[in-house]
Amino acid sequence: MKRQTLIMWMLLFMSTCMFSQKIQIRLDNDRSFSFDNTVFDKSIYKKNLEEAFIIANAVFNSVEFQSLYTEKKFPGWNRCKPEKCKPSKKDSTKIAGTAIYSRLYQKDKVDWIVYFKEKHNSALGSTCPDTGVTTAYYKNIIDDMPELPLSYAIAVNLCHEYMHQIGFCHLFNKFDEDDKETPDRKGYKNDISYRVGWDAYYILKEWLKMGKKINGL
């Protein structure tokens, strides 16, 4: 009986540790800029960006997100080449889901510069590993996720782009999506950054449906 109780407490402790990792990604106001105003503090989108960071942190720190990949494995090509924005195409190893979490929560506080631009041909954003800078494209984001409030849509993109920041790259940049609610099957299964973006989207849609309150908003 004592042994069973001890095992139960150990399992509870392990699960608590697993689902209690925290990260705080902060908007670097001093070095960020927005297309609508040369003075970032006067941008009409500054509040949306600040809220997006709060929302993205809430996703990353949620039990829902932290339980998604514990049993998953992804292709090794997701690793960006050292000091490059390119995948390691010849990497035949596997990346455990736990390794994704380890890398994500390695730093508990991070300042991130955002270049908020008006539009791009197709991309919602772009980020290279370990640069501390991400670019987000306003019109592309709202066109891609018109059903979400702007702050939530930007947050989805931030979650996706942060995977690039911590060293995961796309093998391909084109995905075959049947509609705006259905991801590319192979991309969702194999591409870490793509998968995280979609999962952040699903989590936030569910939270909005539930009327879930996010601390700080």
Between 16-20, 55-59, 136-140, 187-191, the lowest mean confidence (pLDDT) is in 16-20
In the chain, what percentage of residues exceed pLDDT 90? 82
pTM more than 0.85 = yes
In this prediction, residue 7 carries a pLDDT of: 41
Residue 87 one-letter amino acid: P
- Residue 7 placed within a domain: no
Q: pLDDT tens digit string along 14-69?
A: 444 455 799 999 999 999 999 999 999 999 999 999 999 999 999 999 999 999 99
Q: Which residues contact 166 (CB under 8 A, 6 or more apart)?
A: 103, 104, 106, 129
CA dihedral 179, 157, 166, 25 (to 10 degrees): -150
- Residue 195 placed within a domain: yes
**Mean local confidence (pLDDT), 113-140:** 96
**Mean local confidence (pLDDT), 87-112:** 95
The whole domain housing 69 covers 23-210
- Residue 16 placed within a domain: no
**Mean local confidence (pLDDT), 186-214:** 98
**Mean local confidence (pLDDT), 149-171:** 98
What CATH number did the domain enclosing 178 receive?
3.40.390
DSSP code for 64: H
Length of the chain, in residues: 217
Cβ(104)–Cβ(23) below 8 Å: yes
In this prediction, residue 18 carries a pLDDT of: 52
- Residue 51 placed within a domain: yes
In this prediction, residue 174 carries a pLDDT of: 82
Q: Which residues contact 149 (CB under 8 A, 6 or more apart)?
A: 208
Can you read off the two tokens belonging to residue 153? 């849509």
Cβ(127)–Cβ(45) below 8 Å: no
d(CA 159, CA 201) in angstroms, rounded, equals: 9
- Residue 15 placed within a domain: no
- Residue 216 placed within a domain: no
- Residue 46 placed within a domain: yes
d(CA 134, CA 120) in angstroms, rounded, equals: 14
In the chain, what percentage of residues exceed pLDDT 70? 91
Domain count, the chain: 1
- Residue 192 placed within a domain: yes
